[in-house]
Structure 1
Amino acid sequence: MFVKSIVSALALVLITAGAAGAQQTAAAPTRIQQFQAWGAYSYKQGTGNVCYVLSVPTEKKPAGIDHGDNFFIVSQRPGQNISYEPQAMMGYTVKDGSKIEVVIDNKTFVMFTKDKAGWVENAAQEPALVAAMKGGKSMTVNATSRRGTATSYSYSLSGISASLKQIESCK
């Protein structure tokens, strides 16, 4: 199941990266290393590399519904001047105009949404979200589906610091 989820995630990352740089071709991602719940990956895009860390939820609520494949990603794109950009990838289309909340311990970060993804609403808060992930004990991602279903995903933060360190020197 985990391998299937990772393969799906890699495909989603390529699609997202393709939207960001449609004229550039991206190669298939390579796993650099797994650090507990987080994996570090890279792929070539144009003349540079894109590196990212990715994890899947440890718990999905409500139970008994099809959540699809959900992931949390932090990407590094040196060629595009993007450093540690957090992104929530949902397995379903998110309700138009809704927000995704990322709660780490007692800190809440708000993400704007488009289709199946969410990004930090205030880009200046991206470093604070990443720092909270590194120092946090638990992370929950709350979203609302296009159908109006409130969903919640728990993520382990074990291995996030080591995986981010692994992609620190992405070039």
Structure 2
Amino acid sequence: MSVRTIATALALTLASAGLAQAQAPKNTAQAKPQQTQTVAPAPTRIQQFKAWGAYSYKSGASTVCYVLSVPTTKEPASVDHGDIFFIVSQRPGQNISYEPQAMMGYTMQANSKVTVTIDKKNFTMFTKDKAAWVENAAEEPALVAAMKTGHAMSVAAVSGRGTKTSYNYSLQGIGAALKQIESCK
């Protein structure tokens, strides 16, 4: 994965984190943090674990750690998807542990949902612009646990133009990558 791709993912993550709080559904158990930073700090790659990389960057006085992967397949193949990522971040300074987020290279349809499927178990995410977060924050640990033990993960979304898209991710290395950021401080 190139540094430019990772920097793009980081910038998108920072830019969209504040949007989540403003758009969080009423049943969300925890509010997503607002980010006021406009210039993304350069991420440091800690280590690559098969399909998942572990990264960190400084945000003020605290460190933010995350794991990131890109899809192995993108459907429909005939459209430009842009840069697509699935991220699980840890922000100890903000009391956030293992927050899953889907990042698309396009704006998603307003008020649409993203479905993450791991071994036939579905998780629903709410959307805002190019990002999606678990609709019920209380389900975040279950999604992360399913990622650690699962064999296959797919993500289905709808673009702002109404195009149904889907992405398959390898879960190889996710457990080791998450373990690497476990002690993020």
Q: TM-score range by the shorter chain?
A: over 0.9
The DSSP-based 3-state class of the residue aligned with 1:132 is helix
Q: 1:162 to 1:12 in 2, by over 3 A?
A: same
Corresponding position: 1:121 with 2:135: yes
Mark the runs of 5 or more structure 2 residues left unpaired by the alignment: 20-33
Q: Which amino acid aligns with 2:157?
A: A
1:143 Cα shift?
A: 0.1
The count of residues paired between Structure 1 and Structure 2 equals: 170
Calculate the aligned-residue CA RMSD, in Å: 1.6
SS of equivalent residue, structure 2 residue 179:
helix
In 1, Cα distance between the equivalents of 2:40 and 2:162? 34
Question: Taking structure 1 as reference, are residues 50 and 81 closer, same or farther at Cα in structure 2, changes over 3 Å only?
Answer: same
The partner residue of 1:147 within 155, 161, 172 is 161
Moved more, 11-20 or 154-163: 11-20
Distance 1:17 1:104 in 2: 24
**1:64 to partner: Cα distance:** 1.1
TM-score by length of 2: 0.87
Q: In structure 2, what is the Cα distance between the partners aligned to 1:27 and 1:7?
A: 8
For structure 1, which runs of at least 5 residues remain unmatched after alignment? none
Aligned residue in 2 for 1:15: 15
Map 1:1-171 → 2, pairs under 5 A: 2-3=1-2, 4-16=4-16, 20-22=34-36, 27-171=41-185
Aligned partner letter, 2:52: W
| Closer/same/farther in 2, CA of residues 145 and 24 from structure 1, 3 Å limit | closer
For the residue of structure 2 that corresponds to 1:43, the secondary structure is strand
Q: Percent of counterpart pairs with the same letter?
A: 71
Shift of 1:25: 7.0
CA shift, 1:42, in A, is 0.4
Distance 1:78 1:114, change over 3 A: same
**Aligned AA for 1:10?**
L
Question: In 2 relative to 1, CA 123–134 (structure 1 residues): closer, same or farther, beyond 3 Å?
Answer: same
- Is the 8 Å Cα contact of residues 26 and 46 (structure 1) preserved in structure 2? no
Give the whole-Å Cα distance in 2 for the aligned partners of 1:23 and 1:10: 12
Task: String of CA shifts for 1:84-121, please: whole Å, max 9, x gaps.
Answer: 00000001000001000000011000000000000000
Q: Name the aligned partner's letter for residue 38 of structure 1.
A: W
C-alpha separation in 1, matches of 2:85 and 2:44: 17
AA aligned opposite 1:115: D
Q: Secondary structure of the residue that 2:78 maps to in structure 1?
A: coil
Aligned mates of 1:7, 1:79 — CA distance in 2: 21
- Cα 1:29–1:16, aligned 2, differ >3 Å: closer, same or farther? farther
Residue identity in the other structure for 1:48: S
Contact 2:44 2:55 in 1 (8 A): yes
Name the SS of the counterpart of 1:127 in structure 2.
Answer: helix
